[in-house]
Amino acid sequence: MVALGEKTVAVCLLDDDPSILKATSRLLDSVGWKVQAFTDPVEFLEHAAMHCPDLAVIDVLMPEMSGLEVQTRLRRVSPSTRVILLTGKDDPSVRRTAINQGASAFFIKGVRSGEFLAGVKAVADSSN
């Protein structure tokens, strides 16, 4: 298990694409992360308000609510949750906005598994 100190890190994934959720969940599960996946932003935010996950990996482009809006709302309901944004389209203005709003990392879908895992671990380690 990947743990910080005595605590296993809780990671929430939010993406409207079930295949991306499945692949990302499997990747994080393979190294021992405690992962919970969501396709619905409202359901995710309700969960986050109750459970305050350590880390959230959020898709930027979703039909119901953008990842940037989710990030803004998440800061209100679970301010200690670290955010990583994941997107299929690298838009410098979106990246800048995400980072300015407190995102800890920003990845483009298709990123190499090792690079993504290293980024997630670095963000999780920095929250401890």
Q: Does residue 96 sit within a domain?
A: no
Domain count within the chain? 1
What is the rounded distance in angstroms from the CA atom of residue 124 to the CA atom of residue 72? 19
Alpha carbon of residue 8 to chain centroid: 16
Domain around 78? 7-91+106-126
Is a pLDDT exceeding 50 seen at residue 1? no
Averaged pLDDT score across all residues of the chain: 90
Reply yes or no on whether the pLDDT at 4 is more than 60: no
Asked if the model's pLDDT at residue 125 lies above 70, the reply is yes
User: What is the Cα–Cα distance from 99 to 20, expressed in whole angstroms?
Assistant: 22
Contact 85, 58 (CB under 8 A): yes
User: And the tokens for 83?
Assistant: 């955010």
Residue among 6, 21, 10, 18 nearest 47 (CA): 10
What strands, in cross-sheet order, belong to the sheet with 105-108?
34-38, 10-14, 55-59, 82-87, 105-108
Cα 25 from chain centroid? 11
87 part of a folded domain: yes
Q: How confident is the model over 87-118, as pLDDT tens digits? A: 998 899 999 999 999 999 999 998 999 999 99
Residue 40: the pLDDT is: 96
The CATH number covering residue 121 comes to: 3.40.50.2300
Q: What is the pLDDT of residues 37-62, one digit of tens each?
A: 999 999 999 999 999 999 999 999 99
